[in-house]
Amino acid sequence: MRIHARYYRLIFTGLMALLMSLIISTVLLLIKVGWSDHFLNDLLNSWSLAFVVAWPCAYICAYLIQVHLLTRIEFHQD
């Protein structure tokens, strides 16, 4: 699969937000409610909301870190 490099940050942050929102939603739901008969339904509802919030946050944070923080650090190869 070939995708233009300008979509790298968008795809990376999207996948990262997808996985992190799933993990966090699952753990918090298990802690708060525990395992139940309608756990999967509750998880899908909470995961969708978490992903809607997580993706823009991840995109903005990735931009700020890459542009404003990592550009000020000198990386070298020994």
Cβ-based neighbours of 50, under 8 Å, separated by 6 or more? 21, 24, 25
Report if residue 78 sits inside a domain: no
Number of domains in the chain: 1
Give dist(CA 75, CA 77) in Å, integer.
7
Report if residue 77 sits inside a domain: no
Give dist(CA 34, CA 77) in Å, integer.
48
**Domain range spanning residue 26?**
5-72
Give dist(CA 71, CA 37) in Å, integer.
49
Report if residue 65 sits inside a domain: yes
Report if residue 52 sits inside a domain: yes
Tokens standing for residue 47: 């995961």
Q: What is the pTM of this model?
A: 0.74
Report the chain's mean pLDDT, rounded to a whole number. Answer: 89
Tell me the C-alpha to C-alpha distance, in Å, between residue 67 and each of 8, 38, 64. 15, 43, 5
The pLDDT tens digits of the residues spanning 59-74 come to 899 888 888 888 888 8
